Amino acid sequence: MFTLLGGPDNRDLLWLAAALRRRREPVEIVLPEEILEDARLTYRIDRAGVSSALRLRDGRWLGVDLPNLVINRLTELPVRAAGSGIDTAYLGEEWRAALAAWLRTLRCPVLNPPRAASLGGPVISIPAWRAIARAHGMACHPWANDGMTGAVDPIDILVVGDACLDASHTASPALRAQLCQMSRFVGAPLLGASFDRDGEWAFIGATVSPPLEEGQALVDAIVQLSKERQKGS
């Protein structure tokens, strides 16, 4: 089972769900409202480790054994007003912490796991991305005053687990390996990166919420990642 977490207006999730269903893969989209309204979230800590289970209002359980892979596109939670604005903000933070803990205890690949400040993965500024890219051996253009690199025709590369998807088929094996290493370093198994390939390949920026309408290669990589998980379990 593939579980996609996100809002009903998220076109990336809708496209991916349709693409997986065309392959006859079991897939479901879980909306933020379904998690917040009449759901039950439980945790268990014992000598065997930590586990959790989420029961949705329609009776579905998302627990230890299911799903096989989660695509996480949660950003903000539609928390209902609770008294004062301070109370509502507090409730929202409590829900954020609870869902982050749940996603962190799932025993399946989560693309992408949450951080303390963001449900959708790490929040990293462009200067920080450039510093991380340099630390992993990638070249960067000199920083302009406005932050722009001046790339005319940038190329996008997508990392899914240990797979590096390059539609142009021109990125070197060394660059693909560096990107996969950077993905593991920041804790984002789903990562999009942009490069200027005018001469030497130069890193422009990265995002943990890349577009998902990347065609069959993306679907294949996600299905393969799920199968690797099943073999290892």
142 three-state secondary structure: coil
Say how many Å lie between the first and final Cα of the chain, rounded: 15
Rg (CA), the chain: 19
| Side chain identity at residue 5, one-letter code | L
pLDDT recorded at residue 145? 55
- N residues, the chain: 233
pLDDT recorded at residue 36? 78
Give the number of C-alpha atoms closer than 13 A to the C-alpha of residue 131, restricted to the C-beta side.
6
- Assigned token pair, 131: 């510093």
Structural domains of the chain, ranges and CATH numbers in brackets: 2-120 (3.40.50), 126-207 (3.30.470.20)
pLDDT recorded at residue 142? 79
pLDDT recorded at residue 19? 93
DSSP state of 163: E
Q: What is the pLDDT of residues 85-119, one digit of tens each?
A: 787 788 778 888 888 888 888 888 899 999 877 88
DSSP letters, 42-94, are EEEEETTEEEEEEE-TTS-EE-SS--SEEEE------PPP-SSHHHHHHHHHH
- Residue 160's beta-bridge partner residues? 163, 190
Its pTM stands at: 0.86
Q: Low-confidence residues of the chain, pLDDT below 70?
A: 63-66, 81, 83, 144-152, 214, 229-233
Which residue is it, tokens 């998302």?
A: 62
Contacts of 216 (CB under 8 A, 6+ apart): 19
